Amino acid sequence: MGELSDRLIAELIDAVRSQLRKEQGDKLRDIYLIGDIEKDTARTCIERLRELANDSSKPITIYINSAGGNVTDGLAIHDSIRHVVSRGVEVTIIVQGMAYSMGSVVLQAASDGRRFGFPHSWIMIHEPAKWAGWQSTTAAAQHLDRLKQMQNQIYRIMAERSGKPLRQIIKDTKRTDFYLDAQKALDYGLIDAVVAGELPEPKVVEMKESEPIASSGPRIVESDIAAAARAPELEKTGSEGAGEAGKAGQAE
């Protein structure tokens, strides 16, 4: 009976803690998009987004740390965020760690001026064929029409939100992975600001001119150095002279 009571008490405590965490999460109105973008993470993110949007029109913050994933799931998240934004709900997206590939596309769905990145976060964009998950040209050729449509959709999203010409986006992502740190992503137009939190710059300490340190050894002057430099020559001359004298004595 005692063990049963203890178990019931433990379950009750867990239930209360779970409810408190849920209420705290509802209060914060935060969503975490962590890991690969695929159907399960997309469903969880979209359900949570719509739940918060239906609850109230207060701002929502999405934290993203993703290396990318499935293109259609990523576009589903992007479009869901844009739909919520169109209803008047402000959505902020903050990159913590990385927003690569489809993660960078989801980032562009934030409200105007609300795309942020932490100081040491990274963003990567590349050719939409890689977003689609086709690793070979043969697979891409089988879905050429669909690939072209996806390319147009993604290129236009990136160009519209970054302010870069469409030709520039295509050039920078053609057959390569284009990596940018937070500052470069800001300059490129992929984020609107770098969130505070960077380490302060190291203080520059001016070195004071100190007096020459007096040597405790004997003082060396230029004449001593010159004499030391000539010493090997003198020794060589002396040895040669002694050798000639010895030869002359033997000859006698």
Residue 160, phi then psi, degrees to nearest 5: -65, -45
Write out the two tokens for 84. 């919520």
Residue 86 annotated to the active site: no
Please enumerate in sequence order all residues whose Cβ is within 8 A of that of 48, keeping only pairs 6 or more positions apart, or say none.
31
Write down the catalytic residue from 80, 101, 104, 111: 101
Write out the two tokens for 230. 């000539």
Residue 114, phi then psi, degrees to nearest 5: -120, 25
Question: Nearest 5°: CA angle at 147, between 143 and 148?
Answer: 125
> Left (φ > 0), alpha (ψ -120 to 50) or beta: where does 189 sit?
left
Residue 101 annotated to the active site: yes
Do the Cβ atoms of 124 and 105 come closer than 8 Å? no
Question: Nearest 5°: CA angle at 187, between 184 and 190?
Answer: 85
Residues designated catalytic: 101, 126
